Amino acid sequence: MIDPRAFAVLATDIAVLTCYGAELKVLLTKAHSKNFKGEPVLPGGLVEFSERTDEAAKRILGDVLKSTVFYTEQLYTFDDPDRDPAGRVVSVAYIMLIPWKDAVRVIKSGASWHSVKDLPRLAYDHNEIIKLAVKRLVGKITYTNIIFNLMPEEFTLTELQDNYEIILGRKLDKRNFRKKLNSLNLLRKLPRRKEGEANRPAHLFSFRQKSIRELAIL
């Protein structure tokens, strides 16, 4: 049944990213494997026989998230023969983006969020995976509307701008930001405001379409 030419174990590791508290955060768990037991790692696991790697990624995260509707994108395949001392494990890494609102639930599962700027040393090549994931995200938010995957259904313009600033790592001009977004017509202004803060209530917005489109945002 198994092809005699098969020697590699197929795995997936997922860089789950979210924005919160002025930081881009990644989800870390503890390794189960003999060699790295208890060390911090990305969530991941083995791919099953009749499963695509993206299905595996969603299945594995499903244990933690109780839901698999989040944006998932293949990142890169890590295949150095020595990346796992236990044997030849080829990992197809994924990025998953989730809004903070949903991210919060995860905390009870033993996994936890860490700022991508202040990471411990992770097992395997997982620091490298995260570095690449962040680079991909930073690149993509400048020429796509991918950021909607990190936003809740309704949000204020300031919240949106905050997330851009967190990911880009620089401040944006409020007026220019709003002018640009207005011209792109990506958002729908809701007939509602975010009340209850000790300041003027902000209008709430939602994305007109929730599909990835290419466009020059910044």
Partner DNA sequence: TCAAAAGTGTTCCAAATACACCCATGA
Partner DNA sequence: TCATGGGTGTATTTGGAACACTTTTGA
d(CA 169, CA 22): 10
The footprint of a second copy on this chain (CB under 8 A) covers a number of residues equal to: 27
CA 98 to chain centre: 6
d(CA 164, CA 52): 32
Query: CA torsion sign, 180 to 186 to 190 to 194?
Result: negative
Give me the least distance between CB of 100 and DNA, in Å please.
16
Element (H, E) at 65: helix 53-65
Task: Please say which residue, 2 or 198, places its beta carbon nearer to a second copy.
Answer: 2
- Residue 66 is a binding residue for DNA (CB under 7 A): no
d(CA 28, CA 215): 32
- In degrees, rounded to 5, the angle at the alpha carbon of residue 9 between the alpha carbons of residues 14 and 44 is 20
- Residue 120 is a binding residue for DNA (CB under 7 A): no
Task: Please say which residue, 183 or 211, places its beta carbon nearer to DNA.
Answer: 183
- Residue 169 is a binding residue for a second copy (CB under 8 A): no
d(CA 40, CA 123): 6
Footprint (CB under 7 A) of DNA, residues 153-182: 156-158, 173-176, 178-180
Task: Please say which residue, 6 or 216, places its beta carbon nearer to DNA.
Answer: 216
Q: Which of 22, 62, 66, 81 binds a second copy (CB under 8 A)?
A: 81
- Residue 3 is a binding residue for DNA (CB under 7 A): no
SS3 state at 43 = coil
Footprint (CB under 8 A) of a second copy, residues 32-61: 46-47, 49-53
Interface map 83-102 toward a second copy (x if CB under 8 A) = ---xxxxx-x----------
- Residue 185 is a binding residue for DNA (CB under 7 A): no
Rg (CA), the chain: 19
Interface map 8-27 toward a second copy (x if CB under 8 A) = xxx-----------------
Cβ-Cβ contacts under 8 Å for 97 (sequence gap 6 or more): 16, 17, 18, 70, 71, 137, 146, 149, 150
Which spans of this chain sit near DNA (rule: CB under 7 A)?
A: 156-158, 173-176, 178-180, 193, 195-203, 216, 218
| Residues within the interface to a second copy (CB under 8 A) | 2-3, 5-10, 46-47, 49-53, 74, 76-77, 79-81, 86-90, 92
